Amino acid sequence: MPKFRKKPLIVEAVQFIFEPERCKELADFLPDGIAPHAIDHGNEYVLDIPTKEGTMRAYEGDWIVRGAAGELYPVKEDIFPLTFELYQESPGYKGKIVNGYDDKGGLWFSKETNSEQELHAALREARETPEVTVIEIRE
């Protein structure tokens, strides 16, 4: 049976901890309309996150991840460190330009990046542009 490795991807995530000092970070991360609410007669707080697959419930301690397409999904606290590690940009990143061309050399995509995270996002966007067949990275 063939084996596969997950492509490296930089995502944003915040841990769902229902404490006053952490609520602002959570509120800034979540879109309007998604907020913790109490269950079990107020003894436990949860987040109900709408996804393409239906509503997913996050419990306190779970991580909320924003994926490559902006989608949100919960990851259990014990699974998160097995799947994700803290990303730190390399010091001294020099800006790069990502260009995408069609098979006739026409420019369909161009984006200047100022960080490694922006570079990864621009490469992903260029790959998703149907007309682009060649991608170039320039200093």
- The reply to whether 76 and 100 lie within a common domain is no
Please give the pLDDT value at position 65: 93
Model-level pTM greater than 0.75? no
8 Å CB contact between 57 and 46: yes
- The reply to whether 103 and 69 lie within a common domain is no
Please give the pLDDT value at position 134: 84
**Domain interval for residue 32:** 12-83
List b or e across 17-47, with b for residues whose CB sees 16 or more CB atoms inside 10 angstroms.
ebeeeeeeebeeebeeebebeeeeeeeebbb
Please give the pLDDT value at position 79: 93
Residue 3 lies in a domain: no
- The reply to whether 77 and 103 lie within a common domain is no
Domains in the chain, number: 2
- The reply to whether 134 and 107 lie within a common domain is yes
Please give the pLDDT value at position 80: 93
- The reply to whether 67 and 18 lie within a common domain is yes
- The reply to whether 107 and 77 lie within a common domain is no
Residue 88 lies in a domain: no
Please give the pLDDT value at position 96: 83
pLDDT tens over the chain, length 139 residues: 888 777 777 888 999 998 888 888 888 888 888 888 888 777 888 999 998 899 999 999 999 999 877 899 999 999 999 998 888 766 777 778 888 888 888 888 888 888 777 887 888 888 888 888 888 888 8
8 Å CB contact between 99 and 109: yes
- The reply to whether 73 and 46 lie within a common domain is yes
- The reply to whether 57 and 36 lie within a common domain is yes
SS3 assignment for 81-130: HHHCCCCCCCCCCCCEEEEEECCCCCEEEEEEECCHHHHHHHHHHHHHCC
Place of tokens 């999904």: 73
